[in-house]
Structure formats: C-alpha cells, structure tokens
A and B are shown apart, each in its own frame.
Chain A
Amino acid sequence: MKILEAKNITFGYGEKQVLNNIDLSVEEADFIGIIGPNGSGKTTLLKMLCRGLKPESGQVLFKGKDIFKLETRFVAKNIAMVPQDETIIFPFTVFEIVMMGRSPYINRFSWEKKEDLDIVASAMKLADVARFKDRNIDELSSGERQRVFIARALAQMPKVLLLDEPTSHLDINHQYDILELVRKLNQNVKITVIMISHDINLASKYSGKLVLLKKGRIYTEGPAKKVITKKIIKEVYGVNVKLLKGSVLL
C-alpha cells in the first residue's frame, strides 16, 4: 500500500528553482535512500514530505490524503523528521528535547503521563542517549545531538521516519549502531524509512531503493545495483569511480 506520495512537486526559493516535477511513490515499510550532489534538492524534498515546506505546485499525499489538509498533530504522529542539525539557544536537557517528541500526543492542559515517560525512556535507550539524559543539549557534541534528535523522532512513534543525513556527524561505531537501529525498526516494526545520505555506500547497503537527484529532478531511481553504475555516477557527480563488490571506490 502506498503510504507517502509526491505528485508533480515543484518548489523554488525566490528565483532559484530547487525542485522540478518530482514524482515519488513510497510503499509501506520501504527503506528509501535519497542521494545526489550538494544542492540537488534532497533536504528540500524531505521537508516537503513532512509539511515542513509547502510545494509551489503539486501535492504530497499520506495514505492518499493531502498532508496539508490533514491535522498537524495527526501528521506529526505519523511522520517524524530528523533534521541535519539545529542550533538550540536555550539550555533544554536531553530528556526535555526527547519529550518534545511526545508533544503531538500531549494535551494542552495536561502534563506528560506515565506512558509518555516510558516511551521517552525507551526511545532514549534505543538511540543510546539515556546515559546523558540530564545534560544540557548545548553541552553535547554534534554526533550526540544527532542521536538526541533521532530519539525525539522515535518518541513520536511514527509510521514514516525521515532522516536528513543521520550519520553525518557520527563516528563509525555510532553510524553502524544508528543505521542498524533504523534497519531493525524498518524490518521488525515496519516503519517506512526515507533517508538522505551523502555516503553512497551506506545508502546502497541499507536502502531497498535509491532515488538519485540531480539539479532538482529525479535522475534515476531503483535498486542500488541499477542506480549505482560507473556511468551514472560519472554523469551526476562528474567523477570516475571503481565499483568493488557493490561498493563505490573513488
């Protein structure tokens, strides 16, 4: 069943056209990797899928319904986004930030319930941030912060998880841990994953399907074997690569 669809999306910042006629169809429990050179529109596309940005024309559908016509809280309960990084001015603790993932569930007039506390505790454990839950977010390294944002997204208990370069600030062991965690959520809990990655190797290893963007258009999409070819990489990134057993070598 189609859980998320982009239909003929177009978007620009002022004069600059960022996305052109994007069509994307995501099945439930898909693991999609979005790759492409800098400035190809990856982040913009991801933001459109969780109503962070409104397309100039075209539609984004969640289970067949326009996400801009759905209730904001309903969307936040179903689609969670892990942004690349965000600067947080005020000294919120890790626990408080992760608890914000529960905000679509918490009523305006009430405080968090036992259920929310339990969910936050397990989200923090899964993303390996429980150890420093009482530390201020501004005291953490960017890798630690990134894991906090992942925990916050997990606390939303989403059906669709959007990740914008979730491993860009992580060291190898945490890269591995986080991607394995995402894989498990995808395979065991059937969470649909859409992940932007700079790392073509990681993206190919974990995603069932790759979407390659170039200058705001989908250049090609499909299984890694079809997308990652010497010819396509040369055409999109302009570099010559060697392919070794499914990995790209510059």
Chain B
Amino acid sequence: MVRRPALLRFFPNPGSGRTREGDAPLATETIDAVIRTSEPPRLHPLQRVRELARSRQTLGDLVRKEMKVRYKSSILGMAWSMLNPLLYMAVFSLVFGIILPNSIPHYPVYILSGLLAWNLFSTSLNVGARAVVDNASLVTKVYFPREVLPLSSVGTALVDGGLQTLVLLLFMLLFRSYHPGLSWLLLPLAVFVLLVFTSALCMFVAALNVRYRDTQYLLTIVLLIWFWLTPVVYPSGKLVNKHVFGLSVEKLFMLNPIADVVFAFQRIFYGVVQPAGQPKPVLLPLSVGELAWVLALAAVVSVALLYLAWLIYFLRSGDFAEEL
C-alpha cells in the first residue's frame, strides 16, 4: 500500500503579502452615516415608522416562521387554529347550555364572536411576552428594529384570527344568524382599537419580561381574570342596572377597551340585542352611535397607550442585548 505523504506545510506560512488588485471603492460617500452615541436614543415616531416600514418584509417572515414552527410535526397543523375556538365553544355550550342553562339564542355564534376578539388579544400577549426573550440569539447578534418582535406576535395572532373568522362565519351560516345593518360600519374602528391596544400591551410586556421573567407567568393569571371581567361567555345585557361598589357594571365594562371591542364584535356578528320574549337584553342596549362613541374613546386611549408603550419599549430596547 502506498501512503500519500502528509500534506506539505500544514501550518500556513505567514507574511505572504497579499496584493490588492485595482481599486474599486464602493460608493459609501452617498450613503447616510449612522451615528451611535452614548445619549439615549430619541424616538422620532414618523422617522421610526418609516424605518419599521422598511422592515415589514422581516415582520412577515417572522410571522410565517412562527406559524410554521408552531405546527411543525403536528398532524392537524393549521387546523388547530380553528379547532381551538371550536373546543372552547363546545365546552362553554355544555356548561351554559346544560349545567348552568342560560337563554342566549344561537349561543355558539355569541361566544365565537366574543372569542374572536379575545383570542387575538390573549394570544398576542402570551406570545408577545416571550417575543424578545425567545429570540435572544437574534437580539444579541443582529441589529434590526426591535419593535418587529412584539409586532410579529400580533401578526401571528392576526393570522390565527383570520382562520377563526372562517369558523365564526360558518356558524353564522349554520344558524342563519346575520344581521346586516349600520353596526357593520363599526368593524374597522373595532379592529383598529383591538390591534392598537393589543400592540401597546404587547410591547410593554415584551420589554418588561426581558428584565423580569415573572411577567410571563403573572400574565397568565392576569389574562384569566381579565377574561372573566370581559363579557365573552356570559351576556352583558343581563347585568344592566347592576352595581358594584356603587358603580354601574355597564360603565365598568366600558372602561375595559377589550370589552368595548367585544361589544362591537358581538353587535356585528351576533346582532341580537333583545331576543323576543325575554325580559332582559343579551347585549348592552346601546345604539350603534353610542357604541361608536365608546369605541372612538377607546381608540384615543389606545393610541396614547401605544405611544407610551412604544416609548418605553424603544428606550429599553437599546439595552436588550446586554440584559438577555
């Protein structure tokens, strides 16, 4: 057997001068200089929004990744996004139909319309709380606008919401429960409030969770309480004229932006305010105009909250790489 000799010169010879061929400078003169200083960065909303707009492809890619990863190696895959509300509906229909009977007609449509808003909110927050922490390997190694992370959680929940809307529409057809009217005009405003409010809280919990990992656990409890404070499974109309600590329950509901969105969704998709032959309404007996006012107010509050949460997130995000 002939052995090849070991490759000559395993250790490279140093000092072999490299010659540079030609000079082809890249036109960096035309590129804006990026300056990083020790001063805390200032949030210029418009400028930052433009920067974020440039990252929208990344945002989309992160959402796609999240969807793919979530249902990888599951047999039903994306169907879970639809099964989830169906199972909820089944359980609550059982509880409120048989164990604690109520008199809400077309109960599945009622609960699905509320759940649509609620699920988007709670899924966003649950995923959003871990958005920065779970992507630590990215955050500590690559620069990109950090807002993309919590926003991608909202985006993921939005895709889920789209699928759940299909389920809702199916049940609306099944029960022949559709009530076209002025209320449908509320939809854009309600969706706006939902997205803005959810994004605001998402940024807040994502930033907080970097410092205190308790956030993600605490959040589960908070969301559970919040869920029952929001009239998703029970009829808000039945609580009209009730008082807690001297405050009317309707007013308290309205202070909760998610409840406002749920009211709007129920009005749009469910539509039965006062079922025939029942003493009490199912939904709050508000006119569409009144609902619009409530939503408009919630929108203003949500935008203010979003600005605040964004500011906090933006200022904290400079130190994420250090704290992870």
The answer to whether A and B assemble together is: no
Interface, chain A (partner B; CB < 8 A):
none
Interface, chain B (partner A; CB < 8 A):
none
